[in-house]
Amino acid sequence: MTFNDIFKSGFLDSITSVSIVDMIIALVLAFALGMFIFLVYKKTFSGVMYSSSFGVTLIALTMITTVVILAVTSNVVLSLGMVGALSIVRFRAAIKEPLDIAFLFWSIAVGIVLAAGMIPLALIGSVVIGIILLLFVNRKSHTHPYIVVIRCDGKDAEKKATDFIKEKTERTIIRSKTVEKDEIEINIEIRLKDDNTDFINELAEKEGVRSAVLVSYNGEYMN
């Protein structure tokens, strides 16, 4: 069959109907798996500020993708037009957490797989991915990085404070240092030896130290 035969036979105008039952089953499963993805996202979220709208977006994205793929599989012309239309779409929303990208792709993948009729793959795959995320993302570790912000009177107080931190922690890296006439401010990235953070109280009480602040560090800290 040549391209000329295809056009003459009306191949591009043919439509494969999708039954109402199949559509309802696909959308119900898309909603259920979207809810599952949303719950996993909620349980594994470890960022600074939780966004409930992003969780709702995951549910909507799963269902929308299912609808789009069902439409694409029913008509060849529609599928070609859909590809062209979606290729010009640009999203400007910034993704702050790298893990959010995984959830977005997960939602899209589930929608595609459901619309393709691979229901067992969508169900089993989602359960396995969810368990893996719950196990690894929620795992707590004392090696999580922290930032210590110290304000002290002078060079002697600075040396005592940094020596004390090196003694109490597993690893230290000076990220920034600000010097004024009567004050020095240092930002130090640390790794704790254990879960105990009482050393920050002792540090704040040392002579020459005006204040000591311990901040959880997620890689986006800026002075």
Residue 47 has pLDDT above 80, yes or no: no
Q: Do 111 and 53 fall within a single domain?
A: yes
Q: CATH no. for residue 209? A: 3.30.70.260
The span from the CA of 207 to the CA of 129, in Å, is: 52
Per-residue pLDDT averaged across 68-73, rounded?
80
Q: Do 117 and 24 fall within a single domain?
A: yes
Determine the pLDDT at residue 6. Answer: 47
Q: Give the β-pairing of 146-152 and 169-179.
A: unpaired
Q: Do 87 and 17 fall within a single domain?
A: yes
Angle between helices 76-87 and 52-74 (to 10 degrees): 140
pLDDT digits (tens, 9 = 90+) for 24-35: 899 999 999 999
Q: Do 124 and 41 fall within a single domain?
A: yes
Residue 155 lies in a domain: yes
Alpha-carbon Rg for the chain in angstroms: 27
**Of the residues 77, 110, 137, which one is the last residue of a structural domain?**
137
Q: Residue 70 carries which side chain, given as an amino acid letter?
A: L
Query: Where in the sequence is the domain holding 168, given as residue range(s)?
Result: 146-216
pLDDT digits (tens, 9 = 90+) for 83-136: 555 555 565 666 677 788 889 899 999 998 998 888 899 999 999 999 999 888
Q: Residue 121 carries which side chain, given as an amino acid letter?
A: L
Determine the pLDDT at residue 77. Answer: 57
Residue 60 lies in a domain: yes
State the average pLDDT for the chain: 79
Find, among 119, 149, 131, the residue nearest to 216 by Cα.
149
Domains in the chain, number: 2
